[in-house]
């Protein structure tokens, strides 16, 4: 069996797969709770993984995680998790062996989406606790010069905007992500509400929830429209928890569809992720199999 884990700011997803299958045999989800420290998280993740493996050693393993990951599998920094300079691949290799891959969650998800859709120029954007992007350009995952390409959640969209988890003001994530919406409402009303409750009130036309949600959706949509045009993308795929809210994601997709630049013949496919059970898990699984088993899809790494 193969083991894959997706570490998100709120939830962590563990899945085991039979050889050569991309449909998991068994899955389990648990709260990440990164504030309790990495050692606590690791102990919980390993315990669940070993149980799902039924005592077997994985043939290959993969971890997709929020944050910048270098070519050696080190987690350089994840503002959403609060972890820095973590030798993640080295640590997990000591438990599950050397046949493993650690990758940024959005890079892994973009790889899975490109493999499934056979799209050579694609961006995958997750809109969840935070906001991130993975890029496949000309058939290859694009990581940038410092392994942090795609960190659009930490791009400044409002100079005097709210403080972001990265320490700067006005980042996209602070305005348009789930945690961003929650923090904004708390600063206005003093209420500690879930993103789901905020969007429900917004959908019912209740202020200030409607104003905050509409502004977050518009800022996100404008940013994504500019990315679609700047990179001349073939496909834009949206995933993450907020994309399951039709009110919010509908506003985003409508704006992009109406506003992206249209020279003759340009058509951009705007889609929601349908890779199950999780595109980050499937992407890192495909990456690990390609590297350690020689199993290649049509889209190269």
Tens of pLDDT, residues 147-181: 889 999 999 999 989 999 899 999 999 999 999 99
Burial class (CB in 10 A: 0-12, 13-18, 19+), 237: buried
What pLDDT score does 296 carry?
60
What pLDDT score does 20 carry?
83
Residue 234: alpha-carbon gap to chain centroid? 19
Give the residue carrying structure tokens 């190269």. Answer: 300
Mean pLDDT value across the chain: 94
> Could you tell me the pTM of the whole model?
0.91
* Domains of the chain and any CATH numbers: 2-108+277-293 (3.30.420.40), 118-272 (3.30.420.40)
pLDDT band for position 9 (cuts 50, 70, 90): confident
Strand partners for 30: 12
Alpha-carbon distances, residue 298 vs 104, 140, 231 (angstroms): 21, 11, 22
Hey, which bits of the chain come out as E strands? 2-7, 11-17, 24-31, 61-65, 68-69, 75-78, 83-86, 100-104, 122-127, 131-137, 140-141, 235-239, 269-272
Alpha-carbon distances, residue 274 vs 117, 204, 240 (angstroms): 10, 28, 11
What pLDDT score does 301 carry?
34
For residues 249 and 243, give the distance between their C-alpha atoms in angstroms, rounded to a whole number: 5
C-beta separation of 224 from 235 below 8 A: no
C-beta separation of 169 from 176 below 8 A: no
What pLDDT score does 277 carry?
87
Give the other-Cβ count within 10 Å of 27's Cβ.
Answer: 16
Phi and psi at 208, nearest 5°, equal: -85, 10
C-beta separation of 121 from 234 below 8 A: yes
What pLDDT score does 299 carry?
37
For residues 117 and 33, give the distance between their C-alpha atoms in angstroms, rounded to a whole number: 33
């Amino acid at each position: 069996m193969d083991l894959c884990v997706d570490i998100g700011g709120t939830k962590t997803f563990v899945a085991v797969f039979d050889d050569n299958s991309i449909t998991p045999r068994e899955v389990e989800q648990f709260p990440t709770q990164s504030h309790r420290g990495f050692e606590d998280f690791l102990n919980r993740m390993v315990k669940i993984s070993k149980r799902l493996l039924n005592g077997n050693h994985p043939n290959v393993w993969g971890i997709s995680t929020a944050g910048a990951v270098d070519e050696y599998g080190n987690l350089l920094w994840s503002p959403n998790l609060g972890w820095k300079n973590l030798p993640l691949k080295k640590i997990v290799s000591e438990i599950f062996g050397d046949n493993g891959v650690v990758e940024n969650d959005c890079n892994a998800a973009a790889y899975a989406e490109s493999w499934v859709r056979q799209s050579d120029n694609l961006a995958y954007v997750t809109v969840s606790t935070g906001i991130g992007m993975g890029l496949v350009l000309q058939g290859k995952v694009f990581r940038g010069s410092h392994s942090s390409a795609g960190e659009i959640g930490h791009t400044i969209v409002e100079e005097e905007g709210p403080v972001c988890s990265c320490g700067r003001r006005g980042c996209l994530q602070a305005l348009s992500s789930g945690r961003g919406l929650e923090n904004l409402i708390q600063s206005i009303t003093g209420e500690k509400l879930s993103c789901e409750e905020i969007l429900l009130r917004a959908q019912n036309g209740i202020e200030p929830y409607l104003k905050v949600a509409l502004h977050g959706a518009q800022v996100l949509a404008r940013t994504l429209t500019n990315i679609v045009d700047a990179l001349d993308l073939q496909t834009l795929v949206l995933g993450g928890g907020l994309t399951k809210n039709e009110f919010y994601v509908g506003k985003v997709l409508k704006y992009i569809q109406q506003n992206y630049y249209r020279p003759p013949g340009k058509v951009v496919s705007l889609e929601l992720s349908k890779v199950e059970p999780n595109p980050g898990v499937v992407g890192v699984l495909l990456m690990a199999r390609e590297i350690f088993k020689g199993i290649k899809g049509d889209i190269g790494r």
